[in-house]
Structure 1
Amino acid sequence: MVRPLSTDLRERVVAAVLSGETSRAVAARFGVAVSSVVKWSQRHRATGSVAPGQMGGHRKRVLEPHRAFIAERIAQTPSLTLHALKGELAARGISVSHDAIWRFLRREGLRFKKNDVRP
């Protein structure tokens, strides 16, 4: 992901728009996209600042607070399937996909083998 353009450039672009120039003329003069000029102007009108918003970040893990419940269910019923576990979580008000459950189990090191004697 590229980093945002400088705040100085953003301020000069918004100042040019506020002085009466059109967005297209400002974009051509400063070498930025017309959509950037429009968005920076909208941001300046809404917040009074042209500083860029936060980029990226991490999504919080939905199943993390329910780790104890999931581990207990796997210990109680080793033959529990992902879809059955998804149904039990849905009954508790937690709506996730079976893929999210699978990724959570792999990340946490929780396993449920249906047949322990197989390698």
Structure 2
Amino acid sequence: MSDDLQKRVLEAGVGRASARSIAARFGVGISTAIRWLRRERESGERTPRRQGKPRGSRLDAHEAFIADMIEAQKDITLQEMIACLKSECDIEIGRSMLSRGLR
């Protein structure tokens, strides 16, 4: 969606019209209008958020190293992997980030 469309929706929200009526008027989804209006009201944010595929992880560059760690020790724990990544690759990450990266 264009920046202009979001700005027009937000301007219409200034008049306190309902999100449903604004969505119908501009041809956007009701949940989209609600989300844009709420975000502006709560944080003042008026710019569109990034769309598309999520950015890569810091772990992407170490994918082969991680695979080799798992191959060498099938029952390696996340904590052991974190320690190995820190000592061998000089990368500090949390357990949840490593867990997401492995999925």
TM-score, normalised via structure 2 length: 0.59
Q: CA deviation at 1:47?
A: 2.7
What are the ranges of 5 or more consecutive residues in structure 2 without an aligned counterpart? 83-94
Q: Secondary structure at the match of 2:22?
A: helix
Question: Does the CA-based 8 Å contact 1:17-1:26 persist in structure 2?
Answer: yes
Q: How many residues align?
A: 83
Question: Does the CA-based 8 Å contact 1:7-1:50 persist in structure 2?
Answer: no
Q: Secondary structure at the match of 1:52?
A: coil
Write the distance in 2 (CA, Å) between the matches of 1:86 and 1:8: 53
CA, structure 1 residues 91+36, in 2 after alignment: closer, same or farther (shift >3 Å)?
A: closer
CA deviation vs aligned residue, 1:67-106 (integer Å, no higher than 9, x gap):
39x5xx7xxxxxxx83x62423546154667xx4xxxxxx
Q: State the superposition RMSD in angstroms.
A: 3.3
Q: Does 1:20 align with 2:20?
A: no
Q: Does 1:29 align with 2:17?
A: no
Q: Counterpart amino acid of 1:35?
A: S
Q: Does 1:88 align with 2:84?
A: no
Structure label with greater radius of gyration: 1
Percent of pairs with identical residues: 28
Residue of structure 2 in register with 1:58 after alignment: 56
Larger helix proportion of the pair: 2
What are the ranges of 5 or more consecutive residues in structure 1 without an aligned counterpart? 74-80, 101-119
Question: Does the CA-based 8 Å contact 2:6-2:36 persist in structure 1?
Answer: yes
